[in-house]
Amino acid sequence: MRLRACAALLLFLSACATSAPSRKVPAARNPRLANLQRASALPWMDGGRCVVREASNEWAVLVERCYHALDHDRITFRDVTGKCSVASAGAATLGLGVCILIAPEIVVGAVIVAGAVVVAVAIKEELDAYRRASRESVRPESSTRSIKEPSANRKAEPSGQDWLPPVPTDPLDRERRPECRPVPVPHAGEDAPHNECADTFPPNRYPGMDVLVGGKRFDALQVGARVLWEIKTNQFDTYSDFLQERVIEDQVKEFKEDRGIARACGYGFVVGVSTEAHRAALKRADETFDIVVTGCER
């Protein structure tokens, strides 16, 4: 099962209760952006605040944590395939609606919404911020280089970081293609613990910023080396076995895409996770990843 297939969850809606056939969401390499786009098709009672708070997690985690905030008076779930009704005990405990929303595909008639959906305020603000950041990213790098540049006396690497993998030593600013130039953009969302971790490991060349490379936002560009980082601060150890399996499946696909983009632009790629259990699960799924345990907490 691959959670990315949930991108089929944008719905055709009418003024009365109707079946909601799926339509594709525009491709988004940024998982947070993809989650916001998926969630924008659903009715939320809290203005989308829970979605914005959890959007940096995998879609399955977001659904589980924000399911309560859906406008359940307007939305109905039907297990038209019967897969959720016969799901494992771990899946059954999540509830029918959650099981349907995190399924690899949403079939016609599985999700029924009454009335037209207006994108929740908080979600709309986040999507607007992404559009503004995308426009800013096309400016020449010289206009953004001054943002959050590390000071001359900043240490190249913190003590105890000898576990970092070997990387190419070419100058950071010598790029083969314009889209491969690193462009700092503000951290996505307001997930303070995640952003702090991204600035600390390995450390980040642009504190307070993500970096746009090859059309993809990475959490950090390593100081003094051509290495891009993706940071995960999930409370992975607290998830059920069922949810852990789906999170790992989703992350493996995400990290393969990220690594491909990084390598195409001449960068190394490292994943930072909070716990050894999370690292071990990713390694079992794909031992080729470079994964570091950050110890960062949420």
pLDDT 10s digits, 43-64: 999 999 999 888 888 888 888 8
pLDDT band at 94 (very low <50, low <70, confident <90, very high): low
Mean pLDDT of 209-231: 92
Alpha helices by DSSP H, listed for 23-175, are 31-39, 49-54, 59-66, 89-92, 96-101, 121-136, 141-144
Name which residue leads in pLDDT, 17 or 124: 124
Q: In the prediction, which pLDDT does 163 show?
A: 43
User: So what's the pLDDT on residue 15?
Assistant: 34
Say what the pLDDT of residue 90 is: 42
> What is the total residue count of the chain?
298
**pLDDT at position 98, please?**
85
| H/E element, 251 | helix 241-264
More confident: 219 or 20: 219
Lowest mean pLDDT among 45-49, 113-117, 267-271: 113-117
Which of 4-18, 66-80, 89-103, 126-140 is the most confident on average? 66-80
pLDDT of residue 281: 96
Nearest to 279 by CA among 231, 243, 246: 231
Across 90-99, 156-165, 257-266, least confident range: 156-165
Higher pLDDT, 219 or 154: 219
- Residue 202 preceded by cis peptide, ω within 30: yes
Q: In this predicted model, which residue has the larger pLDDT, 94 or 242?
A: 242
Q: Please, which residues have CB within 8 angstroms of residue 186's CB and are 6 or more apart in sequence?
A: 133, 208, 209, 210
Q: Is the pLDDT of residue 194 over 70?
A: yes
Average pLDDT, the chain: 76
